């Protein structure tokens, strides 16, 4: 792709998009993806009602778990990019999804990272012939603009639910409303959403994570307060030039799509009540709005886990990446009811007496001894939307192995 005749001071036009979803490419992609992530055991177990029992050990699988459509699409497009652009350098803006095993597979395809701790190149080093994959979380407008200026081919795998939130915060900016985003300020999706809330410098945003954050904002909405203390509390979680005295006058609540629905709804209720106290019913109708932008797949997995938790279980295993927001919320739900272990993969089940798992409060892996008790034992199992079925299968088989029940003996009567 030559550009010798162009003015070097003029930015390149983005390369025209290529349709990667041709039958030939996708057939090859499907075979490769299934080889990496598919699990016949999980598929048969799901078809059999999600329960597998042998010799006093019962595993119950949530009705909804694992890869969602948006994650499957992102992975398919990344694999398709490698199949189609055989001779091009391919880069990705961070992790394709929040699962380390999947990201390792992406790296194994020769796709290099240009954002984050494991980056292998810089955005400034990109060439017009390079291909850049935007992950499922999306990316901020500044980064995307730089890539477009380079003239690179962009493969955008951003989830449709995320783009729906972007539409809402852009609308807020157009209507001179600040977007209050319920989410994690450091999360890639929230950063991407916040950048859209600026709308070319016209809009503003504020990110709240907890109900305590929300109550602090609500108090300020009702009666004002110490502006410097407010800005310090939300340092790194608000737009440049944010002034709570000005930019909390008219607000619209949005959210990171993988938050807990109940908590987001409570954020909405509390902020609405604060605006109504300050402005009355008529004023609140003009100065407050919200949209339901919780990811459908996230909600399905939370609902399925809640249904499973309503029945007797001895413990719960949650499988997935530790930096996965939707997976973390599943672990939070479990912790509230019974012993729950958030694990990256089956290797963390080190022995009958020892498990390595992620502590959501300490934000690190810890070791728990004597975690399994003798049979009869019923174990619940679920996984976040970024966890492939092969990791779930390995966890199931490892649980039975720890009870000296081999895969051959287990599966022959159960799923043969």
H/E stretch holding 132 reads: strand 131-134
Give kind and range of the element (H or E) at residue 105: helix 100-108
Return the percentage of the chain with pLDDT > 70, whole number. 95
In contact, 188 and 138? CB cutoff 8 Å: yes
Neighbours of 85 (CB within 10 A): 17
Per-residue confidence band for 2, with pLDDT thresholds at 50, 70 and 90: very low
Q: Are 288 and 272 in contact (CB under 8 A)?
A: yes
β-pairing verdict for 364-369 and 354-359: antiparallel
- 285 in helix, strand or coil? helix
Residue 51 to residue 187: CA distance in whole angstroms: 35
Residue 3: predicted pLDDT: 40
Domains and CATH numbers, the chain: 36-67+297-415 (3.40.1010.20), 70-159 (3.40.50.11270), 161-294 (3.40.1010.20)
Compute the CA torsion angle 143, 149, 155, 157 (nearest 10 deg).
Answer: 30
The reply to whether 189 belongs to the active site is yes
Span 16-61, pLDDT tens digits: 778 888 888 989 999 999 999 999 889 988 888 999 999 999 999 9
pLDDT number for residue 47? 86
Contact 375, 402 (CB under 8 A): no
Q: How many helices (H) and strands (E) does the chain have?
A: 15, 15
* pLDDT tens figures, 219-242: 999 999 999 999 999 999 999 999
Spatial contact of 294 and 220, defined as CB atoms under 8 Å apart: no
Catalytic residue among 188, 189, 393, 394: 189
* List of E strands, 200-298: 205-208, 251-255, 288-290
Tell me: the pLDDT tens digits for 333-356? Answer: 999 999 999 999 999 999 999 999
User: Quick check: 161 and 293 in contact, CB under 8 A?
Assistant: yes
The interaxial angle of helices 141-150 and 188-197, nearest 10 deg, is: 90
């Amino acid at each position: 792709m030559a550009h010798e005749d162009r003015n070097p001071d003029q930015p390149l036009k983005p390369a025209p998009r290529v349709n990667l979803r041709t039958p030939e490419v996708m057939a090859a992609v499907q075979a490769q993806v299934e080889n990496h992530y598919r699990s016949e055991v999980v598929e048969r177990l799901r078809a059999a009602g999600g329960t597998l029992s042998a010799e006093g050990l019962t595993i119950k699988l949530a009705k909804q778990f694992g890869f969602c459509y948006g994650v499957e699409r992102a992975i398919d497009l990344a694999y398709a990019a490698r199949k189609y652009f055989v001779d091009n350098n391919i880069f990705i803006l961070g992790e394709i999804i929040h699962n380390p095993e999947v990201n390792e597979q992406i790296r194994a395809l020769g796709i290099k990272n240009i954002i984050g701790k494991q980056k292998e190149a810089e955005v400034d080093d990109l060439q017009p012939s390079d291909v850049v994959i935007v992950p499922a979380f999306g990316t901020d407008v500044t980064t995307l603009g730089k890539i477009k200026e380079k003239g690179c081919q962009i493969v955008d795998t951003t989830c449709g639910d995320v783009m729906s939130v972007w539409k809402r915060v852009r609308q807020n900016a157009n209507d001179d409303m600040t977007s209050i985003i319920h989410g994690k300020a450091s999360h890639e999706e929230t950063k991407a959403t916040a950048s859209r809330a600026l709308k070319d410098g016209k809009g503003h945003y504020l990110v709240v994570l907890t109900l305590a954050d929300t109550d602090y904002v609500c108090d300020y909405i009702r009666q004002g307060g110490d502006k410097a203390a407010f800005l310090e509390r939300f340092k790194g979680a608000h737009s440049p030039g944010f002034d709570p005295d000005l930019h909390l006058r008219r607000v619209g609540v949005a959210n990171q799509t993988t938050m807990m629905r109940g908590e987001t709804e409570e954020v909405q209720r509390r902020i609405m009540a604060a605006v109504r106290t300050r402005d009355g019913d008529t004023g609140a109708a003009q100065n407050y709005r919200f949209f339901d932008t919780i990811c459908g797949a996230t909600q399905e997995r939370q609902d399925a886990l809640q249904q499973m938790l309503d029945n007797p279980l001895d413990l719960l295993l949650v499988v997935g990446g530790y930096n996965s927001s939707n997976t973390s919320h599943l672990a939070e739900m479990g912790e509230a009811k019974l012993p729950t272990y958030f694990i990256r993969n089956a290797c963390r089940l080190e022995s009958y007496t020892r498990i390595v798992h992620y502590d959501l409060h300490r934000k690190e892996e810890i070791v728990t001894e004597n975690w399994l008790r003798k049979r009869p034992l019923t174990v619940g199992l679920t996984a976040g939307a970024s966890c492939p079925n092969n990791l779930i299968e390995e966890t199931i088989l490892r649980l039975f192995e720890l009870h000296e029940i081999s895969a051959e003996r287990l599966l022959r009567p159960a799923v043969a």
